[in-house]
Amino acid sequence: MEVHPQSTEPSCRQDPPLALYIHWPFCISKCPYCDFNSHVRETIDQDAWRAAMLRDLAHEATLLPGRHIASIFFGGGTPSLMPPSTVEALIGSAQSHWGFAANVEITLEANPSSVEAARFADLSRAGVNRISLGLQALDDEALGFLGRAHDVQEGLSALDVAQDNFARVSFDLIYARPHQTIEAWHNELDRALSFGTEHLSLYQLTIEPGTRFATLVAQGDIDLVDPDHGAALYELTHEVTQAAGLPAYEISNHARPGAESLHNLTYWRYGDYVGIGPGAHGRRGGLATSRHKKPENWLKSIARNGHGCQVEEPLTPRERASEALIMGLRLREGVDLADLAERCGVDPETLINMRKANLLQQHGLVHLTGQRLSVTSEGRILLDRILAELVET
């Protein structure tokens, strides 16, 4: 599919471009660490799902007329299992309803299996221009522990195919795995950087409630990484990527300057975004939206109501400001407090606990320069605790 961006982006401050998130909820199997809204089904009626997705998208378009799309993100689940014709239809529908801003970014998450890699050329022709590949590890034993179906060689072959077909490529790795040493992670990270991608998402292994790993931890079958060792791995990650020219622009995301994920920046900068598909969330003009999570319930809602939305909850100015701070302080650039107060309609003096901010600054954990607040590299390891201290709810 040929994408035709608009020649200029909207100039109105109150009417910036949108981000569109499309959730494909199906996977071949459920990974033991995953708490995302993903489901395994023996059969999928692809025609019915394409039609339902298009109806959900059209509903949101009627509520947000006159906007442009800056980014689309196909997440899941495993959206690389979607037929490329469905991907193309959704991209075309979004362009028809809204129009695309210049340099629109269209990302699709993919598993690095040979079956899915065979679809990459078709997905590129459908309009996808950025791929996010779930390699997760560069060690076969670790991939087995993480419940991944591919091995390292298959993953790297898929990475080669991705780099041949997409202008922009990112991939994920999970570190702080049980018994992972500093040296082993350093070697794995050096190898990851050698592949020359513009973006890396590097996540510490976390044990989420309701996952298979949570059960194994409760049974004593998984040894969790000591927090001090986890902090050392985190610091190493940031030092090595910085030296390689892919500094952290967010807690877990690293990119060459100019190669940051535009879609995720919309979340972190608290812009408007549309979410369609089972379990998708959105922020639409001061409303928090969420879709039915179970695929069958979402389909029934589409048939009954013409959309899959389950909740539309108005957010108060204070709630919006708190969300914006919690998201924005994940970024290295931090938050412009005056701009945030204006956008959310709150008194800037009430956004944060200034006494705590000054104390944290004395300890080298935050920077407060004029109206810009950011968390230092030392503070990012303690971000959750810092947010609890700073953000007035």
- Render 19-36 in DSSP notation, one character per residue: EEEEEE-B-SS--TT--S
Whether 4 shows a pLDDT value over 60: the answer reads no
Backbone angles phi, psi at 161, to 5 degrees: -65, -40
Whether 392 shows a pLDDT value over 80: the answer reads no
**21 CB-near residues (< 8 Å, 6+ apart):** 72, 73, 75, 263, 273, 274, 275, 276, 277, 280, 281, 282
Q: Is the pTM of this model over 0.85?
A: yes
Ranges of H-type helices in 220-353 = 227-243, 262-268, 295-305, 317-328, 337-344
With beta carbons less than 8 A apart as the criterion, state whether 6 and 57 touch.
no
Amino acid at 225: V
The pLDDT of 218-226, averaged and rounded, is 91
**235 CB-near residues (< 8 Å, 6+ apart):** 381
Q: What is the pLDDT of residue 36?
A: 87
Q: Residues 358-376: pLDDT tens digits?
A: 999 999 999 998 889 999 9
Q: Residues 105-153: pLDDT tens digits?
A: 999 999 998 788 899 999 999 999 999 999 999 999 999 999 999 999 9
The pLDDT of 203-228, averaged and rounded, is 92
Q: What is the CATH number of domain 18-268?
A: 3.20.20.70
Q: What is the pLDDT of residue 295?
A: 96
The pLDDT of 69-85, averaged and rounded, is 95
With beta carbons less than 8 A apart as the criterion, state whether 192 and 138 touch.
yes
Q: What is the pLDDT of residue 234?
A: 96
The pLDDT of 297-325, averaged and rounded, is 96
Q: What is the pLDDT of residue 126?
A: 97
Whether 348 shows a pLDDT value over 90: the answer reads no
Tokens of 361: 């600054």
Q: What is the CATH number of domain 317-390?
A: 1.10.10.920
Higher pLDDT, 391 or 236: 236
The pLDDT of 19-46, averaged and rounded, is 92
Nearest to 117 by CA among 75, 161, 167, 154: 161
Whether 391 shows a pLDDT value over 90: the answer reads no
Task: Provide CATH 3.20.20.70 ranges for the chain.
Answer: 18-268
The pLDDT of 172-196, averaged and rounded, is 97
285 confidence band (pLDDT: 50, 70, 90) = confident
Q: What is the pLDDT of residue 123?
A: 97
Task: Provide CATH 1.10.10.920 ranges for the chain.
Answer: 317-390
Higher pLDDT, 351 or 24: 24
Whether 8 shows a pLDDT value over 60: the answer reads no
Mean pLDDT of the chain: 92
Q: What is the pLDDT of residue 393?
A: 62
- Weakest mean pLDDT among 153-167, 302-316, 340-354: 340-354
